Amino acid sequence: MRRLIALTCTIPFALAACGGDDEKESSPAPASSSGGATTLDLTAQEPGEEQFGFDPKELNAKAGKVTIKLTLPDDLKAPHGIAIDGEGAGDTVQAGGTSEVTADLKAGTYTFFCPVGDHREEGMEGTLTVK
Ligand SMILES: [Cu+2]
């Protein structure tokens, strides 16, 4: 009989512990992931005459609304833009400017590139992995 009494006494304790856990799980998500949108920064590069590139060459994002923001440093000579293959393109801009493209992406692998002239063939191409 004594054992049964001891067991009964522990039950309210267990319930109280459960309530505490629930509070932790419902705490707000970090601001960086609010709305499921991701913005990725990219920089255009001109390492040599008629040589073009992006830094970085590989980007990663969560599935959902993804924006790639391309920045052109002030010392670039050619205009550049940003596009995601089959998903849209941003404006073509001059040195000092920025170009953005936004797309609603599912998990998969995408190619981003500069749609100006033959810049894509000259090296302005990279891989966007969405998970
Ligand atoms: Cu370009």
**Distance from the alpha carbon of residue 122 to the mean position of ligand 1, in angstroms:** 9
Mean pLDDT across the chain, nearest whole number? 83
In whole angstroms, what is the distance from residue 70 CA to residue 81 CA?
Answer: 7
Rounded distance from Cα 40 to ligand 1 centre (Å): 18
Give the per-residue pLDDT at 116.
97
pLDDT of 2 reads 55
pLDDT tens string 69-121 = 999 999 999 999 999 999 999 999 999 999 999 999 999 999 999 999 999 99
pLDDT value of residue 3: 57
**pLDDT-above-70 percentage for the chain:** 73
Which residues, in sequence order, are CB contacts of 91 under 8 Å at separation 6+? 81, 99
DSSP 93: B
pLDDT in tens, 44-72: 999 988 899 999 999 999 999 999 999 99
34: pLDDT confidence band, cut at 50, 70 and 90?
A: very low
Single pTM value for the model: 0.73
Please give the distance, rounded to the nearest whole angstrom, from the Cα atom of residue 99 to the centre of ligand 1: 11
Q: How far is the CA of 7 from the centre of ligand 1 (A)?
A: 73
How remote is the CA of residue 39 from the centroid of ligand 1, in Å?
20
Q: State in Å: Cα 64 to ligand 1 middle.
A: 26
How many Å apart are CA 47 and CA 53, to the nearest integer? 7
